[in-house]
Structure 1
Amino acid sequence: MDSMIEVTTTHLQQLSASALVPSSRPLPARARIELVREITPEFSKFLYQGVGSEWNWADRLKLTRTQWDELMRTPGTETHVLYVNGAPGGYVELLARHADGGTEVEIMYFGLFPQCIGQGLGGALLTEGIARAWDLDTRCEGFAPVARVWVHTCSLDGPAAIANYEARGLSVFHTETEKLVPGDGAAGMWPGG
């Protein structure tokens, strides 16, 4: 039987594009970040598992291909991929929603593949992700100017997550703690773990 653990979820936001504090470490020449305009469910799931298997990301693993595809086709959804030496090294998934006072963009998923952690790439990827969140309305038809960018992270995520968000100018606006059974983000990744 799986055991419950206490998990703290922290919600952070940014209310102005001018609040973005860019990373002091630019991307190295061997890296680039690219918007994937027509992402497939297979590539999205590969990114999700490649990053999330270390951090118990399991909420999407039960989705069918059709359900996953519908999520990727939701108006205002974008995926920006970090490539390092030509291979995926991390990603940012954004989702815009209509809200009172303008559009709000949630950073749905953000992270690095295990081999890219500790190389100074996270700050540059997050900087780009937040910047693209702020101008998402210029690429997605039907959205008002962005008035808010926000994200939530939890105590199951990487230990540098909150510090990276705060270093980029996001501020905590809510925390909550609950007991839950964590999902197995590595389910189906590699035989025998």
Structure 2
Amino acid sequence: MSDTVTVTTWSLEQTSPSDLVPSANPPGPDIRIVRSEVPSPEFSRFLYASVGADCAWTDRLTWTREQWVTYLSRPGAVETWVAYDRGTPAGYIELEAQSEGQVEIAYFGLLPAFRGRRIGGHLLSYGIGRAWELAGTKRVWVHTCSLDGPHALANYEKRGFRVFDVKTEEEQKPSGHAMK
């Protein structure tokens, strides 16, 4: 049994606010999108681990509480927006402002129970719009891979992202770890 898996990663970008194609079918009125304004390592880790559990998100599972605090507390660098269905977290989008007017959608996704309900397109549209509102934004970019959900790449493309790079590599099979 091999300890590696073949992973294709697509990097996508928008270079103008006019590239955004908002979701045409927003979810019902019970869905709200709210910024998580108080840095909370526990809440951010919950979102990351819950959304990414079946998509092999593992790079942040080994982070200590202090690493989360450091990452989330950088002034003006990270915004976390959470979609709620009647008060229950349904998914999130994390925006990371970077140098030279770039904003990365660092993480985006829905908890499994909320997929297939038009929440993802709505949340992604909202997050992209917010990324373009940040001062000095010249480019919004994201990457997704073959381990992500089956509709991830199509959702990004429907929202107006264009592929600018594709890589296929052998990677170690992911394993999870608990926050310390």
Q: Pick the TM interval, shorter chain.
A: over 0.9
Q: Does 1:180 align with 2:171?
A: yes
> Partner residue of 1:111?
109
Mapped contact 1:5–1:180 kept (Cα < 8 A): yes
Partner of 2:69: 69
Aligned-pair identity in percent equals 49
For structure 1, list consecutive stretches of 5 or more residues without a partner in the other structure.
Answer: 138-144, 189-193
Q: How does 1:13-24 map to 2 (within 5 A)?
A: 13-24=13-24
TM-score by length of 1: 0.88
Tell me, what secondary structure is at the counterpart of 1:42? helix
Q: Distance in 2 between matches of 1:82 and 1:111?
A: 10
Structure 1 residue 2: Cα displacement: 5.9
Stretches (4+) displaced over 3 A:
none
Q: Compute the RMSD of aligned alpha carbons.
A: 1.3
More helix by share: 2
TM-score (norm 2): 0.94
Output one character per residue of 1:143-189: Cα deviation in whole Å (capped at 9) or x when no partner: xx10000000010000100100000000000000110113135x56x
* Cα deviation code 1:4-57 (max 9, x no counterpart): 011000000000001100001113111100111113000000000110011010
Q: Please list every run of 5 or more consecutive structure 2 residues that lacks an aligned counterpart in the other structure.
A: none
Distance in 2 between the 1:6 and 1:91 partners? 27
The residue identity in structure 2 corresponding to 1:108 is: A
Aligned to 1:165: 156
Name the amino acid aligned to 1:17.
P
Residue 73 of structure 1, CA deviation: 1.2
Report the counterpart of residue 125 of structure 1 in structure 2.
123
Distance 1:73 1:152 in 2: 23
